[in-house]
Structure 1
Amino acid sequence: MSQTQTWEKKEGNVGTLTITVPAEEFDSALDQAFNKVKKDIQVPGFRKGKIPRQMFDKRFGVEALYQDALDIILPTAYGKAVEETGIKPVDQPQVDVKEIEQGKDLVLTAEVTVEPEVELGEYKGLEGKEIDAEVTEEDVNEQIEALLAQYTELVVKDGEVAEGDVANIDFKGFVDGEAFEGGEAEGHDLEIGSGTFIPGFEEQLVGLKAGDEKDVKVTFPEEYQAEELQGKEATFEVKVNEVKEKETPEFNDDFVKEELEGFDDAETAEDVKAKVTEDLKAYKEQEKDFELRESLVVQASENAKMEIPEAMVESEQQRMLQEYEQRLAQQGLNLELFEQISGQTKEDLLEQMKDDAFKRVRTGLTLQAISDAENIEASEEDIDNELQKLAEQFQMAKEDIKNVLGDLTVIENDIRNQKAIEFLVDNRKQ
């Protein structure tokens, strides 16, 4: 006799999976459990670990082995039941033992939350969002200005502080006549107009010269990070040590030949301008393509009906948090340090990610449903090509990538999703 299982869908996305494990399999698990625990048992007349099974059952009762036997048999039995019934669990099951006795079939029930059924709405003939990909003269000039900004230098000047200048200052802040923590610094470079200081502070430095002193009066914002300073009026004693202005090189052929880096094939300013224009066109075409795809997916998702389990959203939040931690690591930070700097906790971040996590789950389920409806599959060639891309990206052999991944389901699903998006694009309203 082999294991049997039945699935009964209930309200929402929850159902009951009933699993019947044959007596011989349960008895075998009891034997394994006994061999596991007997190593630590010592009774008079026997060496440690040598107690006979019959004596163990008489002295302790076979029931003492039930939990260990369940731990042995449950993962395999549950996995087989899931595979046989074809359900897609999204959370850990709540398992209940209905019948358990040596020599008899083991009967278990598991309350399982599964992926929701998706009722697709309109997904063909959608009107995607088309954005303008034209590159204007203004776009090119903005890029040139950003390029020149990388070569901008600060030069000391004798005149007054003006918008865009950098003032080197000493300052000390007071609230109600008392100096407050964090309100003092010496030799601080402040760019006027950057908005990095309390609103109203930077503007009051305009017109001052090196050596000038001034009392700057401001009011802390109501939502200032330090609660004790929120909405408080403050006076800063400020001294201007030095005034520096930005000196930006002129965009001409000499600059291109003598200073500019990263444009090896360019000999003139016009050459650089042409390359910037070309890069902008490529970027805007990519942006146009992305916006079109994104808008179609969003529309198809909004047209679909589904009841998303909270467990799926929570799992996606955790994935998003892991992605965020990876980005922090690339900047030399970790989550603990980020919390200290920002004052935000991991729970705060997870809450901020909740809406996006919900949208991700909804989008994924919609694309999966479209793939099923249109019989979209990931071919062996598709999977092989994707493995090759990963191998090149991580500079590893393709077989090594395959071994590391093990289960290729994630890659298959990703390919199917991308093909589903292509289907939306190909079948959009023209």
Structure 2
Amino acid sequence: MKSAVETLNPTRVRLTVEVPFEELKPSLDAAYKKINDQVTVPGFRKGKIPARVIDQRFGRGAVLEEAINDALPKFYTEAVNETELNVLGQPDVDITEFDDGNELKFTAEVDIRPAIEIPDYSGIEVTVDAIEVTDEDVEKSLEQLRDRFATTSAVERAAAEGDVVVVDLEASVDGEVLGDGIAEGVSYTIGSGQLLDGIDEAVTGLSAGDTATFASQLKGGSAAGKDAEVKVKVSEVQERELPALDDEFAQLASEFDTLEELRADSRKRLESMKQYDQATSAQEKVLDALIELTEVAIPEKLLKDEIETRTHNLEHHQFPQMGLTWESFLEREGKTREEYDAELEAQAVKGIKTQFILDELVTKEKLSVNQEELTEHLVRRAASSGMSPDQFAQAVVEGGQVPLLVGEVARGKALAVVVEAAKVTDSNGEVVDLSDEDEDAPAEAAEETTEAAAPADADAESDKA
């Protein structure tokens, strides 16, 4: 077999492949066997029909077509390996010449990863917010903790903001009560915004036994996204009581004996959270700077597929879960469809560039992933997916996704190399040393950036294989 490569543009090539007829023999034999197993000819046992009889009855052309269809993927893969191409996606194959007994000639146009020259990234400088935890931040944290330990008691008065009301709900669309639009005994905190738009105004001022109606767009169920008239009946009004902020509360809500110890711990936790946010912000800004410095050609088909994948996921997975339509989604976002599509394309471009650049860095820096690093990453991914590590690991193995996880870890390490070489200062002009921060932060930040490019990466890896 002979193969040659013609570069069409920086991200697309045309492979020309010539295959001697004798190399088709294994596929021809397989084609005759397949047809033998599928057809019946009087006078011959199934599976024992001679090739000449198959040619007479079904045509030599049918056998050749079956053989070529079987052989093309193998010859294409051999040509890709022989020419050391890093292909993306499925090829467009065209048989240019073939006669029975003569060589097979075909071309395959396919996208490839572009050649990338990694620039000197040691001069990257970024600025992040300084870490500052105020007394107000600490008190707000303590108030949130108090809120978790609040108790309620029934009161005989009109409901006000902050009260808990127990309500019965009945939703109607076009005058008909929905089968799944009835709910009884629902507890709702006025002002929390966790139920239906319009309910706060409807129940404020109502006492036990009172009813009201309000208009709202349903967020879930059989009529998700539709405008409905909702009838609400208040069966009970409850007043929330917060515990006193004292040593007794500290003992109730934590392992500490005094309020001052709890307050000091709250400050320490807030500082740790802000350190993590600072580290993540630094990594994101360094990555943006690296992308800005690096020239990356984007394969048109890969970008088109990526945009289509993201749009499909939005329409068929996220919209149904959130009870949204394009109209309500765009209204919520305050954008036109054209503005959203432009943002989506920019995100897709950034995701693809991120993956290409970090993969090139992995190769340049000769980075590898050991079992411990892969396991730690798997545990993090499992936690974010809501699955146990064992369940997530099984799903990854069964789905053939282990190489993708290895790639995510490797890209995280590549990003850490660039961040380490960059100069990071805070808004106070102080140099930020990220080496002492949570060692998981670089990996998790890289995971977020590579996650955006995951569909394109999955397609590329599976198609290459």
Tell me which interval the TM-score lies in, with the shorter structure as reference length. Answer: 0.7 to 0.9
Q: Corresponding residue for 2:84?
A: 86
Matched to 2:367, the amino acid is A
TM-score if structure 1 supplies the norm length?
A: 0.74
Q: Corresponding residue for 1:39?
A: 37
Q: What CA distance in whole angstroms lies between the structure 1 residues aligned with 2:318 and 2:397?
A: 34
2:282 counterpart SS class:
helix
1:365 lines up with 2:356 in the alignment: yes
1:368 counterpart SS class:
helix
1:51 counterpart SS class:
coil
> Which of residues 408, 416, 425 is equivalent to 1:414?
408
1:377 lines up with 2:375 in the alignment: no
> Which of residues 263, 270, 273 is equivalent to 1:280?
270
Q: What CA distance in whole angstroms lies between the structure 2 residues aligned with 1:254 and 1:228?
A: 48
Amino-acid identity (%): 29
Q: Corresponding residue for 1:26?
A: 24
CA apart distance, 1:99: 2.2
> Which of residues 313, 320, 332 is equivalent to 1:339?
320
Q: What CA distance in whole angstroms lies between the structure 2 residues aligned with 1:137 and 1:301?
A: 39
Matched pairs, number: 396
1:245 lines up with 2:245 in the alignment: no
> Which of residues 358, 365, 376 is equivalent to 1:389?
376
Q: What CA distance in whole angstroms lies between the structure 2 residues aligned with 1:290 and 1:418?
A: 12
Q: What CA distance in whole angstroms lies between the structure 2 residues aligned with 1:424 and 1:77?
A: 40
Q: Corresponding residue for 1:48?
A: 46
1:298 lines up with 2:296 in the alignment: no
TM-score if structure 2 supplies the norm length?
A: 0.69
> Which of residues 76, 93, 96 is equivalent to 2:94?
96
CA apart distance, 1:64: 1.8
2:126 counterpart SS class:
coil
Q: How does 1:10-409 map to 2 (within 5 A)?
A: 10-11=8-9, 13-118=11-116, 123-168=121-166, 181=177, 189-195=187-193, 196-199=195-198, 202-203=200-201, 206-210=204-208, 240-257=234-251, 259-260=252-253, 263-264=254-255, 266-313=256-303, 316=306, 339=320, 342-344=323-325, 356-371=347-362, 375-379=364-368, 382-389=369-376, 409=403
2:36 counterpart SS class:
helix
- Evaluate the alpha carbon distance shift between residue 228 and residue 62 of structure 1 in structure 2; reply closer, same or farther with a 3 A threshold: same
Q: What CA distance in whole angstroms lies between the structure 2 residues aligned with 1:164 and 1:71?
A: 69
Q: What CA distance in whole angstroms lies between the structure 1 residues aligned with 2:357 and 2:349?
A: 12
Q: What CA distance in whole angstroms lies between the structure 2 residues aligned with 1:237 and 1:225?
A: 17
Q: What CA distance in whole angstroms lies between the structure 2 residues aligned with 1:186 and 1:128?
A: 54
**For each residue in 1:259-296, what CA deviation from the matched residue of structure 2 results, as whole angstroms up to 9, or x when unmatched?**
32xx44x2222332233222222222111111101111
1:90 counterpart SS class:
strand
Unaligned 5+ segments in structure 1 are: 326-334
Q: Is the 8 A contact 2:155 2:239 kept in 1?
A: yes
> Which is worse superposed, 146-155 or 158-167?
158-167
1:111 counterpart SS class:
strand
1:33 counterpart SS class:
helix
Unaligned 5+ segments in structure 2 are: 331-339, 381-387, 425-465
CA apart distance, 1:22: 2.6
Matched to 1:424, the amino acid is V
Q: Corresponding residue for 1:332?
A: none
Q: What CA distance in whole angstroms lies between the structure 1 residues aligned with 2:56 and 2:18?
A: 27
Q: Is the 8 A contact 2:126 2:423 kept in 1?
A: yes
